Amino acid sequence: MGRFLTLLTAVGLGSYACAGSPGPGPAATIGALTVSNPYVAEPVTPEVAAVYFSVTNTGESADILIGLSAKFAARGALHGQVRDGNTMRMVPLVGIELGAGETVVLRAGDRHGMLEDLARSPRRGDTVSVTLRFRDAGSVTVPFPVVGYEEIDARAAQALRIAERRR
């Protein structure tokens, strides 16, 4: 009730389809949450794909990102990274808190989404639909462009700059 859902497809899908390198702008909104800068890294192994995006919570109360899914993946998971000696290890998270007024950036080397057990491997230039699930706001399906693995650091840096500006 009172939940509204707007896909900003005019800007989003158009630029994804043409350039294959979408802008960092809003991709979808649901309630007080705006999802921006979505991208999936082209998998280096066929089993899993990493999913990155930012969420801005413009509301008065916190929400929690509780999961993600896609038709071409058997499972979705949220991951964090912990240091394990000299290496970083991924650990499953039950949720990612989105504080009121906060922008959370999911990115390589930090918290991120994973799609596991893929029926097909997304290729760079593709756009795939990924559904994000939030505790309070509900679910929203967002178009995610697939980018080359070598692009993900630049994209993370861009997302962090934008999040910083929103502060």
Q: Which residues bind Cu ion (CB under 5 A)?
A: 79, 90, 114
Closest CA to 143 of 34, 25, 24, 28: 28
Q: Are 106 and 100 in contact (CB under 8 A)?
A: no
**Nearest to Cu ion of 116, 150 (CB atom):** 116
**Nearest to Cu ion of 5, 91 (CB atom):** 91
CB of 40 to Cu ion, least distance (A): 12
CB of 44 to Cu ion, least distance (A): 12
CB of 79 to Cu ion, least distance (A): 3
Tokens linked to 99: 């504080």
Closest CA to 22 of 37, 41, 40: 37
CB of 53 to Cu ion, least distance (A): 14
Question: What CA–CA distance (Å, rounded) separates 1 from 138?
Answer: 11
Question: What CA–CA distance (Å, rounded) separates 141 from 144?
Answer: 9
**Nearest to Cu ion of 30, 40 (CB atom):** 40
CB of 157 to Cu ion, least distance (A): 19
Q: Which residue's CB atom is positioned nearest to Cu ion?
A: 79
| 3-class state of residue 157 by DSSP | helix
**Nearest to Cu ion of 33, 49 (CB atom):** 49
Task: Please identify which residue in the block is written with the tokens 């991951």.
Answer: 79
Reported as type and span, the H/E element at residue 36 is strand 33-41
**Nearest to Cu ion of 34, 37 (CB atom):** 37
User: What residues pair up with 134 in beta bridges, in sequence order?
Assistant: 65, 138
